[in-house]
Amino acid sequence: MKTAEFPQIIIAIDGHSSCGKSTVAKEIAKKLGYIYIDSGAMYRAVTLFALRNGIADNEQVDVPELIKRLPEIKIEFRFNPENLRSDTILNGENVEEEIRQLPVSQHVSPVATIREVREAMVALQQEMGKNKGIVMDGRDIGTVVFPDAELKIFMTARPEVRAQRRYDELTAKGQQVEFDDILANVIERDRIDSSREVSPLKQADDAVILDNSDITREQQLDWVLQKVAQLISA
C-alpha cells in the first residue's frame, strides 16, 4: 500500500517501559509518511533538565523547584537526515543520546508523576497532533492525550525480555551496565507507572493488545500495518 491511500489519523501506542513502543511508532510513521512524536523522550528531556540543574538526584526530585522552572524548558523534535528519524532537542541542544542513558531512566518515572509536568507535556503533545497524521507513543496517549485516536495499541512484553533488550541496547553503545540493575529498573518503572495518581499506565478500553515477547520487529510491523489497513477499509 502506498502512503497516499491512508487518510490522516492519529495512532496512539501505549505500553510498558522497554517494550519497543518507540521502535514500532517510528517505523509505522516512516511507512505511512506520518510525523512521529516521542512522548517518553519529552519526559526524559524534562528529567535531564532536572538532573543537570540539581533538581533531581539519588532518585529524588525537588518538585516545587521543578514546577517553578518548567517555563525554562523548551522541547522540540527535529528531523535528522542522517538516520531519517527525529531527534529530541532540549533548549536548542540535541540530547537524543543522553536522555536514553541509565541516570535518566532511573529518575524519569518520579518526574513523570508530577501533575504540573504532565499537564505541560500533554498540552504540548495535543498541540503537535492537532492536524493528525501522527504516531505517538507513551503511557497515557490513548487514555489522556488522544482519547479519540482512531487506532489505539497497548504494547507489552515479559519483564525479562524487556530488560534483555534494554541491556543489549545500552551495551551496544559501550555503556557499562548490569542486567540485574536493568531488570530491577524495568520492574520498578512498571510499578510506578501503573500506580501513580496522575494518568497511570493502563490499557484504553478500545485498544488492541500487542505482546511482542516472542515476535520479531518485522512481524510486529506487519501486525500494526494490518490493523491500520483493517481500520481504513472498515
Q: What is the pLDDT of residue 6?
A: 57
pLDDT reported for residue 1: 40
Q: Residue 12 has what pLDDT?
A: 96
What does DSSP assign to residue 39?
Answer: H
State whether the Cα torsion 66-70-73-75 is positive or negative.
positive
Q: Where are the alpha helices (DSSP H) in 33-114?
A: 39-52, 63-69, 102-112
The predicted structure's pLDDT at residue 2 = 41
Q: What is residue 3's predicted lDDT score, i.e. its pLDDT?
A: 44
Q: Which residue ranges of the chain lie beneath pLDDT 70?
A: 1-6, 234
pLDDT of residue 140: 86
Domains of the chain are: 8-233 (3.40.50.300)
pTM (two decimals): 0.74
Provide the CB-side half-sphere exposure for 232 (13 A, CA): 18
Count Cα neighbours of 71 within 13 Å in the Cβ-side half-sphere: 1
Exposure pattern of 136-175 as b/e (b: 16+ CB <10 Å)?
bbbbbbbbbbbeebebbbbbbbebebbbbbbbeebeeeee
Query: Terminal CA-to-CA distance of the chain, rounded, Å?
Result: 16
